[in-house]
Structure 1
């Protein structure tokens, strides 16, 4: 089946939740919904929820092509990585997302081809009018957090033997956590647990695990996390190994601090942070 979205159906809108998600939406009566979705944590997808279709079985391609009246034959493959959803498919655009946006600015159309043997589909999606909302969409992209809750819910920091000072890489991890906590009011508390391997004296290891945990807490507080949000600051020494202390790899895995975030359900006014609009941000 080949289907082209009529020009008068190609009404693209923007839906944003600042810091967390940005969507370019095309809703049609004949096809269903198409969404270019970017979310915190580097999620970049093209999703299709198609009317009357079961999950796809087979391959798929997303390309950008010149509009039918341009006749240059330009075509660029953007993704052939996808996952089936309940009513369609979601393509992983990954690093091709900026290229896709550039192509849309140039007036190229989106083509989606599904090679399901039971219901092959070729969709030609007009991008007429999309330039009007792309600036707002790009501003939303610039505000997206570098991580999402699932990625940082349980974060482990690993240490060299005898060390408790934070490395530059660990500071980057903690800055991302602090930035997320400042943005997401549903994060209510965090727990910090310090550990060591079994090398050396038990009491010295207990002290070392405390130094590690306190250094993490102090850095998070310096980055704007309220001290009162640290519900538990615990230091366990060598008591709770994550792996065997008989191997170098196991000892490395045991020299750690675990930062665990607690999150409540969506707040009642969460809907006020969302909205469907054309070229208007919800702030």
Structure 2
């Protein structure tokens, strides 16, 4: 049996992300109609970690359909977004044109981005659900650092890797897998995520490949890429419901009763 290469898996993911991009126009997680009415789509942790972006040049990596990038443009940033999905980039450009927002979008495999995008930025940002689709975190850190101006920052807001180790069994958290042994992931998908599990959107069946990274690996990759860690946060809330026992706190965040484990983490690094 032939083993798929990482490049083959990235190509399969690109096809899957193209299918998801159109489906996500109806997803409650992106809530495109509410966004069009002026709602800021950034989640609490993203807003807090990015802070005031007015007048700053900003690059969002793996921006998907662009609602975060365009929310940042509304806040006064000079925004460029990039994603591997050509369908997602088409949607992002369409939204920018429809809403008359000043943002640029570039389609590229992240690892090829230095060949198709010039310049450096005051801020580079990557939000929820991006790092797990990358097979090479040290190379990702090098690419991201390449786009940070001297004195600028790279901000990461991500799902905490510990969350993916648990299943919900009869309303209780049960450890189901190892972060150190179950490093690669493959799923056959016919639905894609929404704000609530029950609101998942139908999508043509597709494969998704992923890789599990520890917080340690992410942080050390940034250090090895020449960045200085300014701070690291772990918080007990997430951007969407990933397990049935998670409950909304009313501010687009989802928690587990008693806050037993970290559900998201954020890191800011400076060049």
User: Do both share a fold (TM > 0.5)?
Assistant: no
Q: Which has the larger radius of gyration?
A: 1
More helix by share: 2
